[in-house]
Amino acid sequence: MQFKRANRLKKCIVISGFLLLPALLMSQGLLMNTQNRVTTSLNGLWNYIVDPYETGYYSFHAEIYDQKNPSSSAAFYNNYHQKNKAELVEYDFDKSPVLKVPGDWNTQKENLFYYEGTIWYKRSFDYNLKENNRLFVYFGAVNYKAEVYLNGKKLGIHEGGFTSFNYEITSLVKQKNNYLILKVDNRRMKDAVPAANTDWWNYGGITRDVMLIEEPAVFVQDYSIQLKKGTNRTIAGFIKLNGITKDEKAVISIPEINVEKEIQLTVGGNAVFEIEAGNQISYWSPESPKLYKVSVKTAYQLIHDEIGFRTIETKGPDILLNGKPVFLRGICMHEEINGRRANGKADAVKLLSLSKELGCNYVRLAHYPHSEYMLRMADKMGLMVWEEIPVYWTIDFTNRATYLNAQNQLTEVITRDKNRASVIIWSVANETPLSEARNTFLHDLISHTKTLDTTRLISAALLTRNEKGVGIIDDKIGEWLDIISFNQYRGWYGGDLATAPDAKWTTPYNKPVIVSEFGGDAKQGLHGPKEERWNEEFQEYLYQQNLQMIEKIPNLRGISPWILTDFRSPRRMLPGIQDGFNRKGLVSDKDKKKKAFFLMQAYYKKLALQYNR
Ligand code: GCU
């Protein structure tokens, strides 16, 4: 950094020879591996104000306070209190009720169950920032749009309900009485990602952890440490330091395989590396989910991680895990448990343990990035993962801002999870209607994914067409995908079950095929003839017939039935049966297994023996 540039900067802080750009100019790069950083949790009870008319944001003439009159006492983010009894103040966070963070607001308060709009959240905190250190506020996820303020200053706006984001607050934080305020708006919008129409509940709120993260003046912001594509003995990647103002060194250590690699970083703060690890690596797999202790050390900090090393690739119709063909015995799941947004480690363990009990070696985390706990637990428990961004159904494919939003969500999830061995597939879409604009949109997302991560496979849940009774999987974007995945609902949304096993499917692609969704509803505990919809016998028969059909599909290398557990959906209203739930779960929202669960479990047990893994 040339010091002569310093005088052009309006506000800058010089700390012991380091020049810190003002927080707003500092790269707001996403911090990853937060569980191994120096953090202070802000989880707990936050005051909230329901603001359907956004009174705390707009003046009565629709002027945005933080643009036109930032210090207005009427702007909720100023957390204003009467200075004398004559003053007019029409809100008070401290006298307002509280919501638990993390958690959706819909299932915490009956009068918020269907609420779609703005709710303000406020949390006060004290903080003693060590001299020369820097402070960030980090959000695991906020659905859908968050406008974040600290001590009345706007930190930024984040769009996207399922990815992490953070802001530097070094120059704004005080020792006492900081007030962190969020305007959270979960309204569904045609040009958002997802758009306005989804088959899942629009859970609003601060739905994942919030924490403060303290870093040294120069800190390890990001790194990728994975097996290099096409090798199984070379560990490669990059390291990014933030705040660097002179050449620095970093050391990557993986003691168990005698790796100790020093890396030179220039003032740009980035460095790529390759490490020959010889033949000492014990590869990660569902049967043996080996994780190594990895550390990155600089002159200012030592950060630990747990990373598994494995190769994933395709060869013709085969998926090869560590060079051996693998069949993905999967299940789809929403980030939902017992009728509420899942969050935290316990929920992750419960959902993934149920998947293991079903006999899975793979899970499709639909239709959006789940919490980091899910990926960390999948690493530990041995489950391969399909991660997806919510480019779902009718996205506004001609809208550039919509594309950039989708691209940003992809960047945020890949930045967070690119060191997780369990993640083998990035998915860019689900059941999107065909058009040239959609093909361009998805092509660009696929290209973008490859710029961020060359080591994983790329797919999307496609739709198929039918010609003279033959199912055809020839979606044009299949050309750019590594795996051809498609959803089909024979026997539920059409097609006859009795003849399903004789159905024919074809695809022009010599690539692995995954049936990414099939299934049907059953109300748990409802029994009757298999010909009658909604009972468990019908669902069991539907699974039996579909599996006999699916196993004949050419290049089939994976299945993920829809879905592990019943989940809330505003689209499912049949009284006494759905009652606002999609009932395709193999397990009810009250943790009761249905007959089809056991049929699928037996099927996977047989399949595991066939692939002897
Ligand atoms: C679709 C969609 C799911 C939906 C499911 C259903 O394929 O991908 O999000 O819930 O089918 O209709 O139950």
Ligand 1 geometric centre to CA of 393 (Å): 10
Q: Is the CB of 562 under 6 A from ligand 1?
A: yes
Q: Is the CB of 584 under 6 A from ligand 1?
A: yes
What is the pLDDT at residue 267? Answer: 87
Atom of ligand 1 nearest to the CA of 461: 8
What is the pLDDT at residue 611? Answer: 78
Q: Residue 363: beta bridge partners?
A: 385
Atom of ligand 1 nearest to the CA of 366: 9
What is the pLDDT at residue 131? Answer: 97
Q: Is the CB of 430 under 6 A from ligand 1?
A: yes
CA distance 373 to 380: 11
Closest CA to 164 of 46, 36, 342, 31: 31
- Report the residue count for the chain: 613
Ligand 1 geometric centre to CA of 164 (Å): 25
Ligand 1 geometric centre to CA of 492 (Å): 11
> Given ligand 1 and candidates 517, 564, 573, which is best to mutate, with the most ligand atoms within 8 Å of its CB?
517
Going by C-beta distance under 8 Å and a sequence separation of 6 or more, which residues neighbour residue 586? 331, 358, 561, 563, 564, 565, 593, 594, 596, 597, 600
What's the pTM value of the predicted model, to 2 decimals? 0.94
Q: Is the CB of 582 under 6 A from ligand 1?
A: yes
| Tokens linked to 163 | 């990815």
Ligand 1 geometric centre to CA of 51 (Å): 32
pLDDT tens digits, one per residue of 334-373: 999 999 999 999 999 999 999 999 999 999 999 999 999 9
Residue whose entry in the numeric block shows the structure tokens 């915490």 = 108
CA distance 396 to 326: 36
Block mean pLDDT (10 aa), the chain, length 613: 39 35 50 98 98 98 97 98 96 98 98 98 98 98 98 98 98 98 98 98 98 97 96 96 94 97 92 94 98 98 98 98 97 98 97 98 98 98 98 98 98 98 98 98 98 97 95 98 98 97 97 98 98 98 98 98 98 98 98 98 95 69
Ligand 1 geometric centre to CA of 488 (Å): 10
Angle separating helix axes 595-610 and 344-358, nearest 10 degrees: 70
Angle in degrees, CA 91, 92, 93, rounded to 5: 120
Atom of ligand 1 nearest to the CA of 493: 12
- Cα four-point dihedral sign 333, 335, 337, 339: negative
Closest CA to 479 of 518, 452, 510, 519: 510
Would you say 334 and 327 are in contact if contact means Cβ atoms under 8 Å apart? no
Atom of ligand 1 nearest to the CA of 567: 10
Nearest CA to ligand 1 atom 9: 199
Atom of ligand 1 nearest to the CA of 519: 13
Ligand 1 geometric centre to CA of 199 (Å): 6
Closest CA to 589 of 564, 613, 608, 610: 564
> Given ligand 1 and candidates 427, 562, 565, 567, which is best to mutate, with the most ligand atoms within 8 Å of its CB?
562
| Omega before residue 114 within 30° of 0, cis | no
User: How far does CA 260 lie from the centroid of its chain?
Assistant: 32
